[in-house]
Amino acid sequence: MARVSLTLILILGGLSAFGPFATDMYLPAFPAITAGLGTDPASVQRTLAAFFAGMGCGQFLYGPAADRWGRKLPMFVGLALFTAASIGAALADSIGWFTWMRLMQGLGGCAGVVVARAIARDLTEGPTMVRLMSQLMLVGGIAPIIAPTIGGLVLGSVGWRGIFLTLAAYSALLFVAVALFLPESLPPEKRRRDTPWQVIMTYWRLVSNRRFLGLALSGALPVAGMFAYIGGSPFVFMDLHGISPQGYGLFFGANALGIMAVAQTNAWVIRRGVQPARALATVQWAMLAAGAALLLVVLTGLGGFAGIVVTLFCYVAGVGAVMPLASSLAMAPHGNVAGSASALIGTLQFGIGAITGWLVGALHDQTALPMALGVALCGLAGVAARKALVRGI
């Protein structure tokens, strides 16, 4: 196994952060985008689902491409597409065009996510892989902390369109960093030469493997609850409870700090010899309890806004452990198709997240209930998937 350098962690963490940056930077700008494009809040909320859909669907293509042509070429294609789509979103003059550009951003940004996981599998295995995944969560966890603040600053100085030009610059810088500093981790002799039919069969073998599917869903379903939070929290915090965009950014950043803290605690626990499977079960149950508590708070009013903040924090922080653990356990036996395995995990994560985000927008009823219901049900579904499909955990 190769040595994991700080440069590698920073670049892979930056690639893994496309989702948080492209999502969280524009959340404080929802009211401004609604006014600027002459649309309604629900339509702007649905642009989140469009981005998540792109992040999910695109991984089906990038995974096999990364196994066939190496890790860097698909990444360059995705980074270029994300940069162009970000510029397109900045120039949008209608909600329809803006939604399409968000979809294209997702299709481009997912390349970094899927390839970063595949590179981690190329270079590490076992507990070392779990620790690397947790370190990537730490780097990627910085994005939700600073993204709303950056978005609020850009919004206040140059308007919401500047947010997407900033995202274009971020992608372009990563393109240069990958070109100059990221080595190719899949040598030509290990690359696959699968036909389209063989690619389809690889996906079929993965999805029909009960353990792989159960572990992938064990991570993707609880994380989908975070997508419900992301989709519903701008309305719940800013419109329903009167929090300013800057204040919203602080709350969002606090939750991201929770993700980072749990990610590093997870790495420490695994280093001390705790079995990843046992850790995964523990975190899932904790997230289910937090989701149920959130739903109770919203239904009864118990604890008010503070109750919503605390229970959301507890749920979202669990993402820092549930995804590294579930992904590492799922991918461990499938190193020969790491790109495809990573792609399928990501497709499930963002695909379910897109559906969850869309439902939160579609069920919008001027209350916090759609968000709370989405969070609680996703926590429950994650435990159910593990119990039904994975033996011995």
Q: In Å, how far from its chain's centre is CA 390?
A: 23
C-alpha dist (Å) from residue 347 to 97, 252, 351: 24, 25, 5
One-character DSSP codes across 236-288: IIIIIS---HHHHHHHHHHHHHHHHHHHHHHHHHHHTT--HHHHHHHHHHHHH
pLDDT at residue 141, rounded to an integer: 64
Task: Report percent pLDDT > 90 for the chain.
Answer: 37
Q: For residue 332, give the DSSP letter.
A: T
Q: How many CB atoms lie within 10 A of CB 375?
A: 31
pLDDT at residue 281, rounded to an integer: 93
pTM for the full model?
Answer: 0.74
Which parts of the chain have pLDDT scores under 70?
1-4, 134, 137-141, 144
Contact 118, 98 (CB under 8 A): no
Q: Which two structure tokens, joined as six digits, stand for 129?
A: 């892989």
CA dist 104 and 92 (Å) reads: 13
Q: Which domains are seen in the chain, by residue range?
A: 6-182+194-389 (1.20.1250.20)
